[in-house]
Amino acid sequence: MSVVVVPYNPEWPSYFERIKAELSSYLVDVEILSIEHVGSTSVPGLAAKPIIDIDIIVTRSNVQPAIDALVNVSFSYLGDLGIADRHALKDPNQSPKRNIYVCVANAFQTRNHLAVRNTLRLDPSLRDEYAAVKLQLAAEGTNIIDYISAKTSIIQKILKAAGLLIDDELAAINRANCERGTFGATKTKRLLLREFVMDDVQPLFELEGKAEVVRYSVVVDSR
């Protein structure tokens, strides 16, 4: 199934505010540090899959209370799906479509989401370069696996600009991308890189709700 990417919709921020208000009402008895609009729809002017990504940021001790509060109002808990300190939930209300995460404050993935968002908001040139790549791939009818692969270079550029990848990690990713066939896991100081396998597809689909909206994630070795 082809990936769907659309031009920036100025209504996305108001969609987020409405969902944020709903979430706040569900979490009134849980100590929440912040509720953040993340992902491509959070960046003014950036083309994106039309899905609102939201991080509910809490201390580690409040992760389970936040999950429980949402499950009590019919959210489905999907687990961390292999990404440490980021817990995915599916909101029964999908109008507009949204991804909800309960995230540990200051964890790598939480800092990742915020840093990438802030970097793209502050760098129109990088934002437009990323948008052009995504729109071109969508126009070509690219499937999700090829879409993820084709975005590697621009994603690396964004992560480096955000201070989330250092040179040895970029080199490791480039080596992996140049290999023919299957390659073994490559470990750097902070990351574990491995081959994308078919067993990864279903968890990614569950995370996003539909096959066409699976998004790129940086998976960290938490051991």
Residue 214 reports pLDDT greater than 50: no
Which regions of 63-184 does DSSP assign to beta strands (E)? 76-79, 86-90, 98-104
Q: Which of 111-115, 124-128, 199-203 has the lowest mean pLDDT?
A: 199-203
Kindly report whether the peptide bond that precedes residue 96 is cis, defined as omega within 30 degrees of 0: yes
- Cβ atoms of 19 and 92 closer than 8 Å: no
- Alpha helices in 8-62, H assignment, sequence order: 12-26
What torsion, rounded to 10 degrees, do the Cα atoms 126, 12, 100, 107 define? 30
Report the distance separating Cα 33 and Cα 130, nearest Å.
30
Q: pLDDT class for 109, splitting at 50, 70, 90?
A: confident
Which uninterrupted H or E stretch holds 110? helix 108-122
pLDDT of 166 reads 67
Q: How far apart are CA 142 and CA 214, in angstroms?
A: 13
Contact 127, 43 (CB under 8 A): yes
In this predicted structure, the answer to whether residue 202 has a pLDDT above a threshold of 60 is no
What is the pTM (predicted TM-score) of this model?
0.75
- Domains of the chain (ranges; CATH) run 12-213 (3.30.460.10)
